Amino acid sequence: MIFGRSERGKPPVEPVTLKILVAGGFGVGKTTCVGAVSEIKPLRTEEVLTEAGRPVDDTRGVENKHTTTVAMDFGRITLREDLVLYLFGTPGQDRFWFLWDELSTGALGAIVLADTRRLEDCFAAVDYFERRSIPFVIGVNCFDDAVRYPAEDIRQALDLDTGTPVVLCDARERESVKDVLVAVVRHAMAYAAEQRQSITT
């Protein structure tokens, strides 16, 4: 199937498009995650870290990071012929959080990327989505030099609801990121079904 055209007389399929956010702390791998899975060249709004930003950008644990997202990352992936995801990576620093409200409008759900070496950095993102009732999954980005913890230990450390999925992943690997995206879509669909049921009962 080619978008806008049919093959062998088949009617064209109009894909459902869904918006997914990729959030988390500074340097957790959001830009890498979007770039690993996007089927188009990702739109990136990265700028070089400067001396002026040192007082406000905490680079402990990510000393080798030299750039930062100042608006968003954008990518696209087709999961099925009839299902396309648009990915929006959020900026990680506090001073850019005013953009989150715009980016989250119309979002089906979100990935909150976590780094077990700096787990506290994802607390703000978890709180943001919980307060706004946006379904999310935790994607634990398994850095090479990070200790691996069981998903249940991470759930307890983040004080998550039992229904919130925790998925171990490698933000550099396409198939690994796809697994997290599938988990987001499934979780968001289940959440929407629960909401509809609670309204009708």
Give the structural domain span for 137: 16-200
Question: What pLDDT, in 10s, does the model give residues 130-158?
Answer: 999 999 999 999 999 899 999 999 999 99
Please give the residue that has the higher pLDDT: either 172 or 26.
172
Number of domains in the chain: 1
Give the pLDDT score at 200: 77
Residue pLDDT, tens place only, 169-184: 999 999 999 999 999 9
Beta strands, E only, the chain: 16-24, 43-48, 67-80, 83-89, 109-114, 136-141, 166-169
Q: What is the average pLDDT across 30-48?
A: 82
In a domain, 59, yes or no: yes
Query: How far is residue 2's CA from residue 4's CA, in Å, rounded to a whole number?
Result: 6
Task: Specify the CATH number for the domain of residue 28.
Answer: 3.40.50.300
Tell me the pTM: 0.79
Question: Looking at the domain assignment, is residue 38 inside a domain?
Answer: yes
> At residue 3, does pLDDT exceed 50?
no
Q: Is residue 101 part of a domain?
A: yes
Considering the chain, what is the average pLDDT of its residues? 84
For 58-96, write each residue's pLDDT tens digit: 555 555 545 554 457 899 999 888 999 999 998 866 666
Sheet holding 136-141, edge to edge: 43-48, 67-80, 83-89, 16-24, 109-114, 136-141, 166-169
Let me know if residue 4 belongs to a domain.
no
pLDDT at 71: 54
Q: Can you give the pLDDT at residue 44? A: 65
First to last CA, the chain: 41
Does the residue 8 lie in any domain? no
